[in-house]
Amino acid sequence: MHVFTYACLVSTQAQVLYDFAAEPGNNELSIREGETITITNQNIGGGWIEAKNSKGEVGLVPEDYIEINQAQPFTSGGNAAPLDLSFFDSHMPTPASTAQTSNGNDPWTVFDNNASGGFSNNWAAQPEGTETGKTSSNAWHSGGHGHPQAYQGPGAEDDEWDEEWDDVKSSGGYAESEAGEGGAINRGGAHGSSMKIALNKFPGFSKSGPELYLLSKQPAKGTKLPVYSGEVGPVWAYPDYQLDCVVADPKKGSKLYGLKSYIEYQVTPTTTNKPVNHRYKHFDWLYERLLEKFGSAIPIPCLPDKQVAGRFEDEFIKMRMERLQGWMTRMCRHPVISSSEVFQLFLSYKDEKDWKMGKRKAEKDETVGVMVFSTIEPEGLPDLDLIEVEQKCEQFNRFTRAMDDGVKDLLTIGNEHWKRCTGPLPKEYQRIGKAFQNLSSVFTSSGYEGEAALTDALTAAGKTYEEIAQMVAEQPKKDLHFLMETNNEYKGLLGCFPDTVGVHKAAIEKVKEADKLVAAGKITPSDKTTMSKRASTMSYSLQAEMNHFHSNRIYDYNRVMQQYLEQQVKFYEMIAEKLRHAHSRFTTM
């Protein structure tokens, strides 16, 4: 087991997984598969890491192209808890081990090395779902977007990743705000330096154990997040007006005199009705802010893949837009997220200056990670004892795991069905159609009188089956697609739960140890009471979140099943109608 340390290790070895050719003039470093390199800076952002090769050359390499060998360094960052937490060391989830496997690890197995015992967090029995929601979110699809894992590097053409790096260097993007942090090389100001690499896979909890919150003496900062007692149990405070937004109108923009291209999406909130333009990287920035801030309490679903190849193709743009829309809708629907400052910032771009100021402020937010629980306030809800807390947590864990299985199962079957409906099945209908038409044209050659009625009808029947072939091939886009997208979205969302639940489990373990710690004089009885109360608050937060999840799930599955079945009915009715017409052309003799 990797030991969780607060010491900041400076250099780390990494193995190169794939060849990468540096683009000249971009500060990149060419690397070869199998080569060992030394990480010199993991905090570059945008998918890049600074590394040194054996010749001493330093440059940037794509983080997905390498595998880091050693336990990752970890710094506690700006808001280190003001108390000695070393007694928790052996029970912490190990961000080091998670960071180490950032090239495709399994969120369900993250707690394998966690010695804290109690719950089994090992969901490793997933047969096919060992990717995170993010990296595999496109994988169900048989189209060209199915293999985003192998990041393709910025070498070839004008490239959004490259763009991001350009931003860092020149356009006052992340780098500018980072430069504003005196001495800190962190991209975000408030959190651990090793976070970036694991950010996509491990929400806030990993940068600071739940004890940061459980024993925090600091007053809560930021907007309060109340939890009320609702009909179905603890619920978030829902706004009167349900925010939504429309992601539309993707436009190709360019900079550097047209040398660099990117796609901008128009995002229009229903509140203001004023469109703002955002590139994918802005969505990604928002995602990372939300993950940092809320990830411990609220599963933040990943964005659609950061695909590089073919990202200027119309179909890809359309698909990405659709998924960004899905993601935004989900975020809008969440009362906590939609009302958050950073989310509102994203929806209300006024001018560049305002945007940059807002970004900087968001990046400096200190109430992130587990500290978000400090802003949660159960209203009129009695403190829960630890057994209840544990039961609820276990229940949600079981449910989300079971649903994850069910969703993946459906995706697997849906994917096979998609392939059959777009591949062999229409081909077969087409061949049936051709066979009828072929027979018809043989019949035409008979020279026999009175042949025309049959041959016309047979040709029409043949054409009908060719039309059916086309309908069959196009149908999945009309129904299965949405069923798949919804389940895919849920797969991504469910993929966040082990982490969210993990924070709660870790907290429960801490509270369980409180007696021992009091006995050992490590904490005061008052600290213990605080811990227990805060675990109760965390549980209300989790329950509110689960109730939010359930209510959305019921809505989403009702809607998608209705849509699916409605389209299926239309599909079969149209086939029947076409065949009825074909049938009518044959004469009864």
Closest approach of its own copies to the CB of residue 194, in Å: 36
Among 104, 496, 130, CA closest to 300 = 496
Binding of residue 478 to its own copies (CB under 8 A): no
Closest approach of its own copies to the CB of residue 32, in Å: 44
Binding of residue 34 to its own copies (CB under 8 A): no
Residues 485-504 that bind its own copies (CB under 8 A): none
Residue placing its CB nearer to its own copies in the complex, 137 or 430: 430
Site string for its own copies, 215-244 (x = CB under 8 A): ----------------xx------------
Among 407, 493, 517, 531, binds its own copies (CB under 8 A): 407
C-alpha distances out from residue 308 to 163, 204, 264, 382, 434, Å: 12, 27, 15, 50, 41
Q: 303 with 327: CB under 8 angstroms? A: yes
Q: State the number of binding residues for its own copies (CB under 8 A).
A: 67
Question: Any binding-site annotation on 323?
Answer: no
Closest approach of its own copies to the CB of residue 426, in Å: 12
Q: How far apart are CA 193 and CA 398, in angstroms?
A: 33
DSSP string for 405-474 = HHHHHHHHHHHHHHHHHHTHHHHHHHHHHHHHHHHHHHHHTT--TT-HHHHHHHHHHHHHHHHHHHHHHH
Binding of residue 558 to its own copies (CB under 8 A): yes
Among 169, 318, 477, 580, binds its own copies (CB under 8 A): 580
Residues 458-477 that bind its own copies (CB under 8 A): 458, 461
Among 448, 519, 521, 526, binds its own copies (CB under 8 A): 448
Among 242, 446, 524, 529, binds its own copies (CB under 8 A): 446
Closest approach of its own copies to the CB of residue 332, in Å: 17
Question: 245-255 and 260-269: which strand pairing?
Answer: antiparallel
Question: Any binding-site annotation on 434?
Answer: no
Residues 326-345 that bind its own copies (CB under 8 A): none
Closest approach of its own copies to the CB of residue 443, in Å: 8
**Amino acid present at 161:** W
Binding of residue 579 to its own copies (CB under 8 A): yes
DSSP string for 345-377 = HHH----HHHHHHHHHHHHH----GGGGGGGEE
C-alpha distances out from residue 284 to 281, 290, 296, 333, Å: 5, 10, 18, 19
If you count them, how many residues does the chain have? 589
Site string for its own copies, 411-440 (x = CB under 8 A): --xx-xx--x---xx--x--xx--xx-xx-
Binding of residue 572 to its own copies (CB under 8 A): yes
At residue 277, φ and ψ (nearest 5 deg) are -100, 135
Q: 586 with 457: CB under 8 angstroms? A: yes
Closest approach of its own copies to the CB of residue 543, in Å: 10
Closest approach of its own copies to the CB of residue 232, in Å: 5
**Amino acid present at 545:** E
Q: What are the counts of helices (DSSP H) followed by strands (DSSP E) for the chain?
A: 17, 11
Closest approach of its own copies to the CB of residue 445, in Å: 6
Binding of residue 542 to its own copies (CB under 8 A): no
Binding of residue 15 to its own copies (CB under 8 A): no
Sheet holding 48-52, edge to edge: 58-62, 48-52, 36-45, 12-16, 66-68
| C-alpha dihedral, 101 to 102 to 106 to 108, nearest 10° | 100
- Token pair 């990797």 in the structure block, residue: 2
**Amino acid present at 239:** P
Closest approach of its own copies to the CB of residue 128, in Å: 14
At residue 114, φ and ψ (nearest 5 deg) are -80, 115
Question: Any binding-site annotation on 281?
Answer: yes
3-state secondary structure of 25: coil
Residue placing its CB nearer to its own copies in the complex, 1 or 402: 402
Binding of residue 113 to its own copies (CB under 8 A): no
Q: How far apart are CA 202 and CA 492, in angstroms?
A: 13
Among 398, 477, 516, 524, binds its own copies (CB under 8 A): 398
Binding of residue 25 to its own copies (CB under 8 A): no
3-state secondary structure of 279: strand
- Token pair 């780098």 in the structure block, residue: 175
Binding of residue 379 to its own copies (CB under 8 A): no
Among 399, 471, 527, 533, binds its own copies (CB under 8 A): 399
3-state secondary structure of 252: strand
Query: Looking at the DSSP assignment, which residues form a beta bridge with residue 227?
Result: 236, 378
Residue placing its CB nearer to its own copies in the complex, 407 or 517: 407
Binding of residue 125 to its own copies (CB under 8 A): no
Positions at the binding site: 279, 281, 320
Residues of this chain that interact with its own copies (CB under 8 A) are: 231-232, 395, 398-399, 402-403, 405-407, 409-410, 413-414, 416-417, 420, 424-425, 428, 431-432, 435-436, 438-439, 442-443, 445-451, 453-454, 457-458, 461, 546-547, 550-551, 553-555, 557-558, 561-562, 565-566, 568-569, 572-573, 575-576, 579-580, 582-583, 586-589
